[in-house]
Amino acid sequence: MANFFHMGGYAVFVWSAYGISTVALVWLAVSSLRASRTTRKRVEALRARRRKEG
Amino acid sequence: MSTPLSATFRAILMRDIRLAWSQGGTGTMALSFFMIAVTLFAFGVGPEPQVLARIAAGVIWVVALLACLLSLDRLYQADYEDGSLDDLALSPLGLTGVAAAKILAHWLATVVPLILIAPLLGMFMNLAPEGYGILLLSLLVGTPALSLIGSIGAALTVSVRRGGVLMALLVLPLYIPTLIFGVGAVDAAMGMVGSSANLALLGAVTLVALAIGPFASAAALRLALE
Amino acid sequence: MHRFANPAEFNRLADRILPWAIAVMAISLVAGLYLALIGSPPDYQQGESVRIMYIHVPAAWMAMFTYMVMAGASFVAIVWRHPLAELAGKAAAPIGATFTALALITGSLWGKPMWGTYWQWDGRMTSVLVLFFLYLGYMAIWHGFDDEEKAGRAAAILALVGVANIPIIKFSVDWWNTLHQPASVFRMGGPTIADSMLWPLFIMATAFQAYFVVVFLWRMKLEINQRKLSVMNRAEVYG
């Protein structure tokens, strides 16, 4: 297990490459999904208001 | 033998060249910028002749590129704002021809003077004697691409208020190959290696820019005129 | 083709694809990460640092693939005035920019132990950097215009002009013969890297591809709804 984390001496490089990639990709996915949901809700709210106003 | 088409082309060409060298035109300004900016490098880097000689070709190329970019900013703007671009669009030449004429005018009126003064700046920068010929040749082959590519950026941002920075952001990445091959040619010649490969690639970039530039500029102008 | 010009139709299609894409992404990501980090042998020359390749290479592939998607969408947008095509370019750009940035970052993290330097100005790295700048310009031009439709078409023209950069990336390796390794997977005469490394690489590439599909569809829905909102707001002001 320690060997695994040690990465033959390249631990800093390997793990920061994987770490940075994970953070960036997760952040992009989560922010996209979140923004997509909030805009959809705003569209629906606007529509509902229109309907009520006639 | 002068067809109306080439007459219109020539009319735009001559008018733009005249404008560039009239009072407050971009021609003199770009030239002054070119000279001042190159000397700034000497102040920034220090006066050691060897250091200056090493970076001379790169500095001259980069500053020529920036001078070209700055002078392209308003390539279409004045004609767009006073409405004469609408008239030009309806001319038999079409917007592609108009763009080609204006690009050629820019190169002749603004860029060629930069090339002509480059040897003087080479002297300031202590450029090695064997570098002058190839510097001029590389500028001659490469700078048309700068006018052509820059024209696309100018056309895309013509209707954008304060589009200058945006234009630089769009255009500068596309300038990189020209810069690399241009400076590469000079460096190769000074390292006593053949510079023909770099010159050929530089020419190829210019040809690609020639194939794309006028059409993409016309498409962007059409968009702005809608 | 024009059936999907209808946003509602597109949303239905997206909702049908999304669960599958998420499933493919999850499975290939787990399998790919296992193979990349544990299941594959260290390289006989590069040791364990070769494991960076399993994210670096897929990220670089996706950086180019996403630009192709953007360019293709831009082409459709200009030629057929397809309303969703412009939005497709806008939706793809941030994903492509992220992949490009990751390709550069992981590449430099791989380069440090292998070549002794984080950054080397060789052909391929330079053109990937240029690709990153092209993404930045593409995203900036969308914000430069007040009129969304004009912004979309201007961005499409820019994307198509930038396509001239893609072959430069692919062939720059041959132009500047420097430290960077020549392409070793896609080349004449078949790949030169071992199967034990090829499998994790392709599975990770699949995971990245599926990730692109998922996030792209989410962003498409986002852009469609945003366009809807701005249309509705305009109707409110002028209507």
- What digits encode the pLDDT tens for the residues B24-78? 788 888 999 999 999 998 889 888 888 998 889 999 999 999 999 999 988 898 8
pLDDT of residue C230: 83
The ipTM (two decimal places) reads: 0.89
Indicate the average pLDDT of chain A: 88
List, as one string, the DSSP characters of C113-182. Answer: HHHS-S----HHHHHHHHHHHHHHHHHHHHHH-SSHHHHHHHHHHHHHHHTTHHHHHHHHHHHS-SSSPP
In the predicted structure, residue C54 carries a pLDDT above the cut 80: yes
Read off the pLDDT of residues B109-126 as tens digits, 9 standing for 90 and up: 999 999 999 999 999 998
Helix C165-175 and helix C123-144: axis angle, to 10°?
160
Q: What percent of chain C has pLDDT over 70?
A: 83
Kindly identify which residue of chain C lies nearest to residue B176, measuring between CA atoms: C130
pLDDT band at C201 (very low <50, low <70, confident <90, very high): very high
Euclidean distance between CA atoms C226 and B209, whole angstroms: 36
pLDDT of residue C174: 47
- Coil/strand/helix, residue C190: coil
Q: Do C154 and B156 touch (CB under 8 A)?
A: yes
CB burial readout B164-193, b (16+ within 10 A) else e: bebbbbbbbbbbbbbbbbbbbbbbbbbeee
pTM: 0.86
Return the higher-pLDDT residue of C239 and C132.
C132
Q: Is C126 on the interface with B (CB under 8 A)?
A: yes
Q: Do C226 and A39 touch (CB under 8 A)?
A: yes
* Nearest CB partner across the interface for C228, out of A8, A17, A43: A43
pLDDT band at C46 (very low <50, low <70, confident <90, very high): confident
Q: Do C38 and A16 touch (CB under 8 A)?
A: no
Q: Do A9 and C94 touch (CB under 8 A)?
A: no
pLDDT of residue B8: 85
* Nearest CB partner across the interface for C130, out of B152, B173, B201: B173
Return the higher-pLDDT residue of C29 and C164.
C29
In the predicted structure, residue B22 carries a pLDDT above the cut 70: yes
pLDDT of residue B177: 83
Specify the residue for token string 């209707």. Answer: B159
pLDDT band at C173 (very low <50, low <70, confident <90, very high): very low
In the predicted structure, residue C101 carries a pLDDT above the cut 70: yes
pLDDT of residue B102: 93
Q: Is C113 on the interface with A (CB under 8 A)?
A: yes
In the predicted structure, residue B81 carries a pLDDT above the cut 90: no
* Nearest CB partner across the interface for C161, out of B152, B163, B224: B152
For residue C221, list chain A residues with Cβ-Cβ distance below 8 A. 36, 40
Sequence ranges of the domains in chain C = 19-39+49-177+195-238
Q: Is C19 on the interface with A (CB under 8 A)?
A: no
pLDDT of residue A4: 77
Sequence ranges of the domains in chain A = 2-53
Indicate the average pLDDT of chain B: 89
Kindly identify which residue of chain C lies nearest to residue A9, measuring between CA atoms: C48
For residue B201, list chain C residues with Cβ-Cβ distance below 8 A. 175
pLDDT of residue C238: 64
Q: CA torsion sign, C142 to C144 to C145 to C151?
A: negative
pLDDT of residue C168: 58
pLDDT of residue C175: 54
Read off the pLDDT of residues C130-161 as tens digits, 9 standing for 90 and up: 889 889 999 999 888 888 888 888 999 999 88
pLDDT band at C183 (very low <50, low <70, confident <90, very high): low
In sequence order, the 6+-apart residues with CB closer than 8 A to the CB of C39 are C200
Q: Is C154 on the interface with B (CB under 8 A)?
A: yes
Q: How far is C230 from chain B (nearest CA, A)?
A: 20
Nearest in space to B149 (alpha carbons), one of C169, C75, C123, C161:
C161
Euclidean distance between CA atoms B107 and B144, whole angstroms: 6
Euclidean distance between CA atoms B93 and A23, whole angstroms: 54
Q: How far is C79 from chain A (nearest CA, A)?
A: 28
pLDDT of residue A39: 92
